[in-house]
Structure 1
Amino acid sequence: MMQINCDSASNKHSLINVMHRFIAAANNMDETIMVPSLLRDMPLEERMSGKMETNNNEPQYPNKQRDMYEHYLLLKSIKNDMEWGLLKREMSSGASFLEMTVKQEEQKPVTGDLTPEENHDLENQFHYHLRGLFGVLSKLTVQADHLTNRYKREIGCGNFIR
């Protein structure tokens, strides 16, 4: 069994740490939100003086999730996929786009005969996807925390926000 180096797990910039932070935020969200149906028809963004709330002057992009309930389900689904992998989802329902892509990649023949250019390309691909994964997991963590805090405010538990 592979062991995780304690130094890399304690490094705040490690992928493992970023994954743990998201899973902890999603677990906290799940433990806090006792009645998820209360999130139905609650808009994702809070209206403040007629404008949408923005973080760090980032442009607001329309989300596929129309309300907080759908966003809650998305965050739970992502957390479950991270914890259980793609196999569990495949067994319980149809394959998603991501799973179909992974299957297509698995079906391609793998040979050990990679040229130096292909090795360099693999390294570039790895770093590109690693940066993307860091960014996505960080944003998902913030969204899970925001959803949890917003739920607390909406049900009147604003005094108990951690």
Structure 2
Amino acid sequence: MMQITSDPCNKHSLLNVMNRFMAAANNMDETIMVPSLLRDVPLEEQEGQGEMVNHNNNIEPLPSKQRDMYEHYLLLKSIRNDMEWGLLKRELNSGASFLEMAVKQEGQQQHQHHEKNGVADDDGADLEGQFHYHLRGLFGVLAKLTVQADHLTNRYKREIGGGNFMR
């Protein structure tokens, strides 16, 4: 049986990017003891975000649709849970996650694009290209989510007066 391990020498592997996000999300969840304190606290521009973003493959930040830090916290937890437990658990509970809605929306957009351009939707067409496209997207999204989880954790520490414990 082949065992997959995350090689510390290859910091750009998908497993390492996923592990960094999971660690940041777990740290956020362990640090934020009273999530309700995040209600009505507006999201602010991340200080020093340019440095953090440039370190993560020059990824540009996207504006957030969450209105406050509490909604952002719930989004990050939901994504972490979907990664940890998969989408099947969510389907069994008949609830749609943010991740599922985004995947369905992307699928609909691609189908509409193929119909508009007269391209036959062949299941085996350019699987390698599709894989690399989605892999790049996954790397970008996970890097952004990791930065956001770290920022939310540090902001929570500042809000409750725990600034001395920041990493």
What is the rounded CA distance, in whole Å, between the counterparts of 2:95 and 2:28 in structure 1? Answer: 26
Query: How big is the shift at 1:98?
Result: 4.8
CA distance 1:59–1:2, change in 2 (3 Å): closer
Partner of 2:65: 64
Partner of 1:146: 151
Percentage of pairs with the same residue = 75
Q: Which amino acid aligns with 2:87?
A: L
Query: How big is the shift at 1:42?
Result: 0.3
Partner of 1:33: 32
Q: 1:16-51, CA deviations, whole angstroms, 9 ceiling, x for partnerless residues?
A: 0000000000000000000000000001115xxxxx
Q: Does 1:21 align with 2:20?
A: yes
Runs of 4+ in structure 1 over 6 Å off? 57-60, 101-104
Q: Secondary structure at the match of 2:86?
A: helix
What is the rounded CA distance, in whole Å, between the counterparts of 2:104 and 2:149 in structure 1? Answer: 27
Partner of residue 125 from structure 1, selected from 126, 130, 136: 130
Partner of 1:90: 91
What is the rounded CA distance, in whole Å, between the counterparts of 2:61 and 2:105 in structure 1? Answer: 29
Q: Which amino acid aligns with 1:9?
A: D
Structure 1 unmatched runs, 5+: 47-51, 105-109
Q: Secondary structure at the match of 1:9?
A: coil
Query: How big is the shift at 1:146?
Result: 0.2
What is the rounded CA distance, in whole Å, between the counterparts of 1:26 and 1:59 in structure 2? Answer: 20
CA distance 1:37–1:65, change in 2 (3 Å): same
CA RMSD of aligned residues (A): 2.9
Say whether the 8 Å CA contact 1:54–1:60 is kept in structure 2: no
Partner of residue 55 from structure 1, selected from 43, 49, 52: 49
CA distance 1:82–1:142, change in 2 (3 Å): same
Structure 2 unmatched runs, 5+: 54-58, 109-121
Q: Which amino acid aligns with 1:125?
A: Q
Query: How big is the shift at 1:100?
Result: 5.0
Q: 1:79-107, CA deviations, whole angstroms, 9 ceiling, x for partnerless residues?
A: 00000000111112334425657999xxx
